[in-house]
Amino acid sequence: MSFIEEVPDEKADGRLREIYAEDLKSVGYVKNTNRVMSLRPEAIDAWNTLVRTVRDHLRLRRYELVTFAAAKALGCRY
């Protein structure tokens, strides 16, 4: 059971349908971050822009280490 509402694939329309289709084409599934923000597709675009902006200024290894350290500090087991 989840307390987070999300838009199922078959009910996605407009920009959200495009986002879901982009995910399916690029990674083969709809990303969890996009599902969680599916009620606000404009937030998905803003989030992806933020992540891209940060990631583009870091080497891949450093980005991975920062992501891992943050997850560990927050106790994330995902």
pLDDT surpassing 60 at residue 1: no
Whether 37 contacts 47, CB under 8 Å: yes
Residue 39 maps to a domain: yes
Whether the pLDDT of residue 66 is over 60: the answer is yes
Domain membership of residue 21 (yes or no) is: yes
Residue at 2 is within a domain: no
Report pLDDT digits (tens) over 18-57: 999 999 999 999 999 999 999 999 999 999 999 999 889 9
Query: Does residue 1 sit within a domain?
Result: no
Count up the domains in the chain and report the number.
Answer: 1
Task: Categorize the per-residue pLDDT at 76 as very low, low, confident or very high, splitting at 50, 70 and 90.
Answer: confident
Report if residue 55 sits inside a domain.
yes
Q: Is residue 66 part of a domain?
A: yes
Q: Considering the domain boundaries, does residue 27 fall inside one?
A: yes
Q: Which domain holds residue 24?
A: 9-74
pLDDT given at position 70: 93
Residue-level pLDDT at 26:
96
Q: Identify the band that residue 2 occupies on the pLDDT scale cut at 50, 70 and 90.
A: low
4-32: burial string, b at 16+ Cβ within 10 Å, e else: eebbeeeebeeebeebbeebeeeeeebbe
Instruction: Read off the CATH number of the domain in which 42 is found.
Output: 1.20.5
